[in-house]
Structure formats: structure tokens, C-alpha cells
Structure 1
Amino acid sequence: MATYATMVDSLNVGGGRLLPAHLVTAVTVRPTHRRRGVLRAMMTRDLRRAKDAGLALAGLTASEATIYGRFGFGAATSAAETRVDSRGGLEFTASPAGSIAVADNSKLLSVAPEIYRAHLQGTFGALGRQHGYWMRASGAWSEETSEPDKALRGVIRYNQDGIPDGYVTYKSLGWQTDPHTVKITDLVAASDEAYRELWRYLGSIDLVERLTFDVAPVADPLPWMLADRRRYSGSGTLVLTVRDPLGMANGVWQLDAHGGTGIVHPAEGGTVPAGAEAVDIDIAALGSLYLGGVSAPTLAAAGGIRGSRAALDLTDALFTAGPAPYCSTMF
């Protein structure tokens, strides 16, 4: 009538300190047994046992955010979905460093855990990984089954001393996708340089128009690494009512963004269309926001921009991203 599983692994809590964390996973209750206290009984007993065992931390990945607050869980880390327009390749501000080598399945299986240990030691919020991650990273398992993933490709990055310090695995979504897309399934770097060089490699793959990564850092340095940071493919329509005391930028403007490219034009009739996501923004705040150096909610707190939470979130998606701890492991 129910399933429940746990494991203990390391959590980076800052300053390179790793603490053992009690990780809860595979929680299910049959529809026929819902609302009978089954989950509450399982989780309460389990958390008490973990406390008695001396574990200070418990964690889980919540499929439904409203369920677990009653057990003392709160959102602690976030990840971002990244979409990058890679048509014509990606140009970086820094010169290339180290080397990249194509890796077969056996090489990835042997090297990936070592690289991840270095990443775990240096990344606030990162979690230790179970064996299944290395099976998927090597292609021995597919994402959803234990069958081999023959479409998976991978490379390893080596620093100037010849030490492996990053890897990335990826697959094409097929020529029928428009634009032609490569999905990054796992990207692990033990240094900022390794992270940059792996993205440089991905941006050099011929005939690829878009790169996607579903568990990127929220405070991703990638936009700042690119010579053209507008390669990010945020999409949506936002209406901005701009307040300019000099009168030069006053007005109601509509921003239509698709695939990282934005077109701005005066809103029809000089008014905010009904139902549109809209913000009211001071010209100074718009200047700060334009290059992505500050988030829309921060500007809202300072009084420079006004709008609904949804509108502020859309503004952030089109202009910038804020800092957060980073965990790419969903155990």
C-alpha cells in the first residue's frame, strides 16, 4: 500500500564541510489508502530513528511542495532550466585552457565518481551521489531503465596538469526537433575553468542550434563567460511602463522575447493590454536591470519596480538570475 526508502550521504554545508544527511526518497501511497495517515506514520517513525542515530539533517526532493512542510522540510536549494542558442558556435571572453577528450562508457564509469567527489567538496549545497548516477553517466543505464543508453555521448575535461576535473554527458534529441537540440544529461565540474571549458566544447558541436540543461545553477556564471550573453533563450511577453523624469523614455513598451532575442515596440494605444504580464519601472531601475546585474525582486524591494510576483518572475527570466546554493543531485 506504500513505499518508502532512505539513504545517508554527504551534504556540503559550506566551507568545504561535509555532514551526513538522512535522505528520503521513493515515497508513494496507493490512491486507495490516501488520507489514512500512512505517510505521516512512516515519515514520523523514520525521522525519529534518524534523530536517534545522531543525524542532524534530513532532506528530500519534493514532487509536491505542499506535502512536506508539516514534517519540518523547507526549500533549501534550487536549480534552473538553461536554454542556450548555439547557432554558429559560442564565443567566450576567456582563452581556451586545458583539453577535452571524448570518453567511452568504461572511461566515464571509472572517472566520473572521482570528479564528482572534487565537485562535492567545493560546491555549497551539493549532495553525495548513489551508484545509479554513475551507471547513467556512463550510458550503462538509460534515464528511466537499466537498459544501456546507446545515444549518450560524453567528454572529460583535463586541466593543464593532465588531471580530470570535469565531464559532461549529452544526447541529440533528433533531427526532427526544431531547432536541432542537444540535451545535456549531466555536467559536473570541479572548477570554474572546467565548467567554462565544458560549455565551450558543447558550443562547438556542429549542426546544433540549441543546448538545454535542466539542472543548471540558478546563479549560473555561463552568461558572464559568453562574449554575447544574450545567447540565453528566455522567452515571453512583458509590458513595461517606464517612468523617466526627463521624459526621454516615458511610455508603455511591449517586450517580446523568443530564443534569447528581444523586440521592443510601443504598446498599442499606449496602454497595458488586458491580461498582460506588466511592470511599472523607474528609468534608473531599468538601467540597472538591463545588463542583468540585479534581480527584479531586489529592485522591487528597493521601490524601483512594481508588479505582481508573476510579472517580476518573468522580468527575471528575461533579464537576469539571482544567487542560490546549487544542487544537481536529486537522489
Structure 2
Amino acid sequence: MTSETDTRPAAQTETADAAAHLVAPVNEASRARLAGNGLDYRVVPVDGEGFAPWLQVVARGFQDGERSDEQVAASRERSGYRRVTGVYDPSAPMAESPVATIASWIGQLTVPGGAALPSCAISAVTVAPTHRRRGIARAMLEGELGAAVSSGAPLAMLTVSESTLYGRYGFAPAAASASWRIETKRATWIGPRPEGRVDFIPRERLRELAPALHERVRLRDAGEIDVPGSHWDGFAGTSPTAEKAGEKRAVQYADATGEVRGLAIYSVKENHDDFTKASVRVGYLLAENDDAYAALWRFLLELDLVAEVTADELSVDEPLRWMIADQRAARVTIRDHQYVRILDVVTALEARRFGAPGVLALDVADVLGHASGRYVLSVDADGRGTVSDWGDGGAPEGAVEVALGIEELSAAYLGGVSLATLAAAGRVRSTDASAAARVLAWHTAPRLSIWY
């Protein structure tokens, strides 16, 4: 869910998959389907005249204001890495503006065990209210998944504004996020007090340090991705079109050797009725190790004249809960966040690690046909899996049989939900759901610390 275009991650290596996806034409089946309804589905060159109207429609779709010429120019400059497409109605009064938009790129998704897989990241999905219920969203989403398959991406991913829209395309919430609201006076810090120091730094310095620090830690948590560069400008308020950038304050944590191991950006809102009860909103906190995590959170919770600290896109299993004396001082709201869609079952499963050894016979249904099949997953004592064809016969001796849709397999893929839970919900059938759940489990909760 991104209403702005984003710069390419500086550390992302050019790959054949990413390059092929960037220049891919629109899906022919989707193009023909929309043409039958009098609509034109096409790629929008970022350096062409059509980009500005496309961007204005994206802004409108996300309830944002009209973009200025300066903002359009800045977005155009940062958009070369994304495949931008739109659907046009030649009979509309503003025929140069699309009635629907979508953008995508090949990013890197961290999976359990610390590997990263090329994944088609989908963003900027809008359909004008004047053109709903005409099959436009379906044509675009199916077209984008087809392009991802053609470029060799084994996964697709997105963050969503409306959570009910994407299950029909095989996407499932795979990594939830937590929003925290903490009463600071009640919380009381009881966590570690590391050596090292927290210091204020210019926002520009945080923007300079953040990409490399994130690259050092993103393989630690399943669900994280390589962050598009303009997200760092957004967090730090360093883009030329940033609004209220001066309200943001940046700090760093350096360990006892002087190495920067953590960064945070936050803003303060005064309480004019009681100046001792300001509120702090944490825009982003990035910690390379436990010391950096503890030092930055302690700093934020012990700020003077602050009664409340809020933060979003946190893990559902934050260590912070065990660093405050009164856990009830924190009100935590959980919601779906990172959605995943498996396109290549063999590549996806063989890339991740697993929680226990075992053999699963997976009968996977996929209404779009990308991942349908019968697979045997064999996991060894080290948690490494290999996938073979089940074939038409019975399951291998000793295998646990699991029948599920691609949506359910995608939901469980990062370890964010147990197959036993999905079975209890009637979403999965298995000869031994508990045993299957132990195999697919992972010991840490997946997370994603940004929107895209």
C-alpha cells in the first residue's frame, strides 16, 4: 500500500528476474478481457507524459491530495525500478488519466532460516469508484501474478488497505503487525541498561546510516524485505517534498566501541492542557542487536514531559513487553500486515528452514493454477527440506497428509500461523494436523517493519 513511488534499494543486486519483470508487457489474457469491456490496459513509461496523470490517480485512490509539479518530478526520478501499469477508458472525459492503477517490482523477502527469495512486490492498487464491478481489479491482479511467474518470481507479496480483497487471488496474511500505545509513567523500565550511548543526530545522518544497518539485520526476521530507498527519505523527512519534516527527531545508539548499532526517528505532540503529558510517536526503530534495542526503547520511554509513546508495525512478540514493569501499561493491537502468495511451491519450500523433521504429503489447490499440485516435503533433522512429486498414487509410508489451498499454505509459510490452527478453523484437512504444524513452525514470529 504505497501512494508514492519509491527509489530502488541501493543494496539490491540487479537480477535477471528483476530486469525481465521491469520490461514485461501487460498480460495478454487480462488485456483482451479488458478490451472486451472497452478498456485499454497498458504499461505506463515512467519517463513519458502518462506518468503524471497516473501518479495523480494513485494519490486520489489513497485519499491523498493532488501532487504538485515538484512532487511529480521527484516521484518520476525515483520510479525507474518499478513496473507501472494502468487501465484507461477512452470514452471518459479525462481519457489521459487511468481509471485503475497498479505497480510492482521484484524485491527480496526473508523466509524462515535467513534466506531471501525474489518476490513480486505489488503496490499502488487503485480502481476509480466510477469503474468498479467491471472486472478491472481481477484483470490487473491476475495479470501482475502472470508477469511475476514469467519473470521467475516464486512468491508475490503486498501490504493492503482493505484486507478482504486479495484472498481470491491466493494471497494470505502471513506476518501480522502490532501497534503499541504505552503509558510511560505506568510502564517503568526494568530492562537492560547497556553500555554505549544514545545521541541526537541530524535526520540526514539517519538517512545515511539506515540502509546499510537494515541490510545487516533484514535476514534475521522472516517477513522483512529489502526496503525501497525513498522509504528512508520518508522516515527521515529528507525528501525535497517532505511535509512537517522539522517535527522529526533522530537518535542513534553507539556501542562501547563507538559503532552505531541502532537508530530511531520520532516526533512529539504537545499537550497544551498539561505540558507534562506530551505524546511521542515512533516513526521507525532499527536495532542491530539486543543492546541497541534496549537502549533506544529505554530512551523513548523515559523522555521528559511525555505521558504516552505510540509505535506501529512492531512484532507480535516484542521483547519490549518483558522490559517494562507493568505490561498493562501497553495497549497492543494486532492486525494483518504482510500478505504472501506462493507461486512456485518447490522453490518456496526448499528455500526456508523448518521447525521439526518429518514428511508431509501436500495436496495443494490453486484456483489460478500457478501452484496446484501434489508435493512431498521431506525435512531432515537440520530443518532442511526437499520437495518431490507426490504423483497419482497414495502418500509415502509414514507421511502426514495435508490438503489445503494455496491461500492456507501461503498463510503458514512464514511461520505466522499454525497448520493446527488452520485445521481447527476448517481451512486445512490433515491426517495429523499437530505433526504437520510442528514441521512448518518457526521459533520466531515473522514481521514486516514498513508499509509498501
Aligned to 2:245: 149
Residue 200 to residue 177, structure 1, CA distance change in 2 (3 Å):
farther
CA distance in 1: counterparts of 2:161 and 2:186, whole angstroms: 38
**Given that residues 156 and 166 in structure 1 are in contact (C-alpha distance below 8 angstroms), is that contact kept between their aligned partners in structure 2?**
yes
> How far off its partner does 1:177 sit?
7.5
Aligned to 1:122: 220
Answering whether residue 446 of structure 2 is matched by residue 325 of structure 1, we say yes
**Given that residues 90 and 200 in structure 1 are in contact (C-alpha distance below 8 angstroms), is that contact kept between their aligned partners in structure 2?**
no
1:200 to 288, 298, 313: 298
Residue 206 to residue 159, structure 1, CA distance change in 2 (3 Å):
same
Answering whether residue 313 of structure 2 is matched by residue 215 of structure 1, we say yes
Matches within 5 A, 1:132-143: 132-141=230-239
> How far off its partner does 1:201 sit?
0.8
Residue 88 to residue 60, structure 1, CA distance change in 2 (3 Å):
closer
Answering whether residue 294 of structure 2 is matched by residue 173 of structure 1, we say no
Residue 141 to residue 86, structure 1, CA distance change in 2 (3 Å):
farther
1:97 to 195, 202, 224: 195
Aligned to 1:31: 129
- Alignment TM-score, normalising by the size of structure 2: 0.51
Answering whether residue 136 of structure 2 is matched by residue 15 of structure 1, we say no
1:42 to 140, 164, 176: 140
Aligned to 1:272: none
Aligned to 2:288: 190
> How far off its partner does 1:137 sit?
2.4
Answering whether residue 258 of structure 2 is matched by residue 162 of structure 1, we say yes
SS at match of 2:231: helix
> How far off its partner does 1:88 sit?
7.7
Aligned to 1:279: none
> How far off its partner does 1:63 sit?
1.4
Aligned to 1:53: 151
Aligned to 2:161: 63
Deviations 1:272-321 (A, max 9, x none): xxxxxxxxxxxxxxxxxxxxxxxxxx9xx9xxxxxxxxxxxxxxxxxxxx
Matches within 5 A, 1:245-264: none
Deviations 1:6-31 (A, max 9, x none): 12211110222111111000000111
* Aligned alpha-carbon RMSD (Å): 2.4
- Alignment TM-score, normalising by the size of structure 1: 0.69
Deviations 1:39-98 (A, max 9, x none): 111111111111111100101112112111111100101111111111288422323332
One-letter identity of the residue aligned with 2:320: L
CA distance in 1: counterparts of 2:119 and 2:322, whole angstroms: 33
Where in structure 1 are there 5+ consecutive unaligned residues? 236-297, 302-321
> How far off its partner does 1:148 sit?
5.4
SS at match of 1:132: helix
Aligned to 1:82: 180
One-letter identity of the residue aligned with 1:173: K
Aligned to 1:107: 205
Residue 204 to residue 182, structure 1, CA distance change in 2 (3 Å):
same
Residue 14 to residue 222, structure 1, CA distance change in 2 (3 Å):
same
> How far off its partner does 1:115 sit?
1.3
CA distance in 2: counterparts of 1:205 and 1:170, whole angstroms: 11
**Given that residues 193 and 295 in structure 2 are in contact (C-alpha distance below 8 angstroms), is that contact kept between their aligned partners in structure 1?**
no
- The percent identity for this pair of structures is 34
One-letter identity of the residue aligned with 1:160: A
**Given that residues 283 and 311 in structure 2 are in contact (C-alpha distance below 8 angstroms), is that contact kept between their aligned partners in structure 1?**
yes
CA distance in 2: counterparts of 1:74 and 1:221, whole angstroms: 26
Aligned to 1:274: none
> How far off its partner does 1:323 sit?
6.8
CA distance in 2: counterparts of 1:124 and 1:72, whole angstroms: 19
One-letter identity of the residue aligned with 1:161: T
Residue 9 to residue 234, structure 1, CA distance change in 2 (3 Å):
closer
> How far off its partner does 1:330 sit?
1.2
> How far off its partner does 1:213 sit?
0.4
SS at match of 1:209: strand
> How far off its partner does 1:99 sit?
1.5
SS at match of 2:175: coil
> How far off its partner does 1:197 sit?
1.1
Aligned to 2:27: none
SS at match of 2:306: coil
> How far off its partner does 1:329 sit?
1.6
Aligned to 1:316: none
